[in-house]
Amino acid sequence: MQIIREPRVTVLARQQFVYPEHIRWESDSEVPGEVVAEFAGRLCYLSFGEDAGLEGGHKSIPGRTTNDAYLANILRTKHGSVLEHAVWTLLLEGISRSLTHELIRHRAGFGFSQLSQRYVDESNIAFVQPPEISGGTRAYEIWESACEQSLESYRSLLDEMTDQVGDDGPATMRKKRARQAARAVLPNCAETKIVVTGNARAWRHFMEMRGSASADVEIRTLATAVLGVLSAEAPHIFGDMHMVPHSDGTSTVETPHSKV
Active site residues: 210
Residues ≥6 apart with Cβ < 8 Å to 214: none
How far apart CA 119 and CA 193 sit, in angstroms, is 14
* SS3 assignment, position 180: helix
Cα torsion 144, 150, 153, 157: sign? negative
Residues ≥6 apart with Cβ < 8 Å to 36: 15, 17, 85, 86
Strand partners, 14: 88
How far apart CA 223 and CA 203 sit, in angstroms, is 9
